Amino acid sequence: MAAKSNITGMALCLFLVCLVCGGVLGAVYTVTKQPIEDAAAAEALAAISEVLPEGGEISSVQQAGGMEYYTSTSGDEVKAYAVKSTAGGFGGPITIMVGVLPDGSIWNTRVLSHSETPGLGAKCTTDEAFISQWKGYNGSFTVKKDGGDVDAITASTITSRAYAKALAQASALVHSLEGADADAASGASVKKEEE
């Protein structure tokens, strides 16, 4: 004789299926969590190494102005900063690791993530003419269409603006950090003179 289908039996069956699926998902998460974190850390380290000048000791992650940054130091002197900066592009946020020298000029850049249109805005990762114009750049972070000096990616002005904005944010952060360091140094020297 077939078992009668009732609401209690169906609810119990659904609960057991959800319990098993939840357990499987939890196990998969536990197993893959560490490798995913290790891969993300390795990717971040590779990006930092790519955007900073060679040599120097890289600090652990620091926070300022809502952004993460790393410093490359030689002795007590900061040689450069690696700043993780994000701006809104056409398809979503564009996150870029930006190497910035203490004077605010760009050393190098690397896109960490984006959601831009393939073949158009996604060229921000492959268009050498666009990427190479940023090396050593220390001008107005504005595309030519808006009256600036930056050549935009063909048919991707919004992506180019977002890229420029992310770099401008990174440069501004370094200027504020360098200003804070200069203020701290001048405050220390004033204090020594007063003593």
Reading the chain (195 residues) residue by residue, the pLDDT tens digits are 455 678 888 999 999 999 999 999 999 999 999 999 999 888 888 999 999 998 889 999 999 989 999 999 998 899 999 999 999 999 999 999 999 999 999 999 999 999 999 999 999 999 999 999 999 999 899 999 999 999 999 999 999 999 999 999 999 999 999 886 655 444 433 333 344
Give tens-digit pLDDT for 39-78.
988 888 899 999 999 888 999 999 998 999 999 999 889 9
Q: What is residue 189's predicted lDDT score, i.e. its pLDDT? A: 38
Q: For residue 126, tell me if it sits in a domain.
A: yes
Which residues form the domain of 149? Answer: 52-194
Q: Three-state SS for 71?
A: strand
Picking from 169, 165, 151, the residue whose alpha carbon sits closest to that of residue 83 is 169
Q: 75 in a domain, yes or no?
A: yes
- Domain-embedded: residue 31: no
On whether residue 133 sits in a domain, the answer given is yes
- Within a domain: residue 27? no
pLDDT at residue 14, rounded to an integer? 94
**What is the reported pLDDT for 3?**
57
Joined together, the tokens standing for residue 1 give: 């004789």
In a domain, 12, yes or no: no
Q: Please report the pLDDT score of residue 40 as a whole number.
A: 85
Residue 35: inside a domain? no
How far, in Å, CA of 55 to CA of 163, rounded? 27
φ/ψ (deg, to 5) at 143 = -70, 155
| Predicted pLDDT at 191 | 39
Contact 151, 47 (CB under 8 A): no
pLDDT for position 90: 95
Full-prediction pTM beyond 0.75? Answer: yes
Count of structural domains within the chain: 1
- Retrieve residue 15's tokens: 């609960």
Which pLDDT belongs to residue 139? 87
Structural tokens at position 84: 């993780």
φ, ψ of residue 75 in degrees (nearest 5): 70, -125
Please report whether residue 86 resides in a domain: yes
Which sign, positive or negative, has the C-alpha torsion 178, 112, 153, 89? Answer: negative
